[in-house]
Amino acid sequence: MSDRGEIAALLLADVKDGVPAESNRDALGLALALSFPRELIRVAVLAEDALSSARKCSEMLGADVLSVSGEGLSPYSGPAFLAALTDMAERLTPRFMILPHSSLGMDLAPALAARLSAACVTGVSRVEDAGLGPVLARVSADGGREEIIRPLSALTVLTALPGSFPVEAPEKPGAVSEIARPVLPPAGVRFLGCEEGPAADLALAAADVIVCAGRGVGSPENLALVEELAGLFPRSAVAGSRPVCDAGWLPANRQVGVTGATVAPRLYIACGVSGAFQHLAGMSGAKTIVAVNRDPSAPIFSAAHVGVAEDLVTFIPLLIDALKK
């Protein structure tokens, strides 16, 4: 519970083209994991005309939503969002502000923490209560360690690692309150346009099992083994490391890593993935990691729960046969 102000947690909703993103569920799940009841949680939707999106968020999350409309909030502008959220934080004085673990959150979270003299912990994967307040766990940047952090500041800005905090569908929508925001002053930047890159494949976010192909698959023909292995599991997907996607062996929206998708499936099977920290940062939230690599010194083994030092062309057919039996 928060004794700091009106609410315990203020969440920023990620909304694109009027549709709330799945990352909003992760943010709500983190707020609930901090032992806050829904009545002490508020979700902020910021847009030039936010009401319709706010209603969709209230239905999606079952939490009370603050619809903040105002010129300068559409399309997304970092300085404009920063000004609006700073104002809301100063009025509502939450204990935590939770942002999506996406490009939006990565842009805003550090700036917001600096503006409000708050702590900032990104990619939170687990919450513990040690009796003196919440303790947060997150995967280190190199993917090889789990960092345990106790926030000491009055306000902490967080992002939730995707898939780490599942929430059940709400029984009913939350209330929606409209907040009119005055026209924001010029922020020193001018929005010129947005060029969309390939979106992450939605199958990756929804998959319970991900089989990832790395450079060690050797050739695009060997991807058939990876795809056959993935096909043996329900709710599975095939992913690729950056070299595989850069080579065009898999579409760019199947890439996992810092410049691709961040995933947290129940099982992640890395096939021929060396384990550069950029890749580990995107998948180290998986509940169980199995690594298959013929190089026993590959960095991927430092993050794996199960390691197989063998050529994948030899091992995967044997694994497929065993699973079929």
| ∠ CA 2-5-11, rounded to 5° | 75
Average pLDDT taken over every residue of the chain: 88
Residue 173 has pLDDT above 90, yes or no: yes
Coil/strand/helix, residue 39: helix
Residue (of 188, 248, 198) closest to 223 by Cα position: 248
CB 274 within 8 A of CB 214: yes
Query: Among 101-110, 122-131, 217-226, 230-239, which stretch is predicted with the lowest mean pLDDT?
Result: 122-131
Residue 42 has pLDDT above 50, yes or no: yes
Residue (of 254, 297, 271, 283) closest to 218 by Cα position: 271
Query: Among 135-139, 154-158, 299-303, which stretch is predicted with the lowest mean pLDDT?
Result: 135-139
Query: Among 191-195, 211-215, 216-220, 257-261, which stretch is predicted with the lowest mean pLDDT?
Result: 191-195
Give the residues across from 46 on adjacent strands. Answer: 68
Burial of 86 by CB count in 10 Å (0-12 exposed, 13-18 middle, 19+ buried)?
Answer: middle
Query: Who wins on pLDDT, 75 or 301?
Result: 301
Banded model confidence at residue 2, pLDDT cuts 50, 70, 90: very low
Give the residues across from 249 on adjacent strands. Answer: none
pLDDT in tens, 245-298: 999 999 998 999 877 888 889 999 999 999 988 898 788 888 999 999 999 999
Backbone angles phi, psi at 223, to 5 degrees: -65, -20
How far is 81 from 47, CA to CA, in rounded Å?
9
Banded model confidence at residue 129, pLDDT cuts 50, 70, 90: confident
| pLDDT the model gives residue 231 | 93
Residue whose entry in the numeric block shows the structure tokens 């058939």: 224
| pLDDT the model gives residue 183 | 60
| ∠ CA 246-249-254, rounded to 5° | 70
Task: Tally Cβ neighbours within 10 Å of residue 309.
Answer: 14
Q: How many CA atoms lie within 13 A of 112 on its CB side?
A: 33
Banded model confidence at residue 74, pLDDT cuts 50, 70, 90: confident
Give the residue ranges of DSSP H helices in the chain: 23-33, 51-61, 78-92, 103-115, 202-206, 223-231, 242-246, 277-283, 300-303, 312-324
Query: Among 19-28, 123-132, 172-181, 233-242, which stretch is predicted with the lowest mean pLDDT?
Result: 123-132
Residue 1 has pLDDT above 60, yes or no: no
| pLDDT the model gives residue 144 | 57
Residue 72 has pLDDT above 90, yes or no: no
Domains parsed from the chain with CATH numbers: 9-180 (3.40.50.620), 202-324 (3.40.50.1220)
| pLDDT the model gives residue 71 | 80
Banded model confidence at residue 128, pLDDT cuts 50, 70, 90: confident
CB 267 within 8 A of CB 236: no
Coil/strand/helix, residue 279: helix
| pLDDT the model gives residue 273 | 96
- DSSP, residue by residue, 230-242: HHTSTTEEEEE-H
Residue 200 has pLDDT above 80, yes or no: no
Residue 185 has pLDDT above 90, yes or no: no
| pLDDT the model gives residue 3 | 43
| pLDDT the model gives residue 227 | 95
Banded model confidence at residue 102, pLDDT cuts 50, 70, 90: confident
Residues in contact with 113: Cβ distance below 8 Å, sequence separation at least 6, in sequence order: 119, 120, 156, 157
Complete edge-to-edge strand list for the sheet that includes strand 41-47: 146-149, 134-139, 119-129, 156-160, 96-99, 9-12, 41-47, 64-69, 176-180
| pLDDT the model gives residue 206 | 80
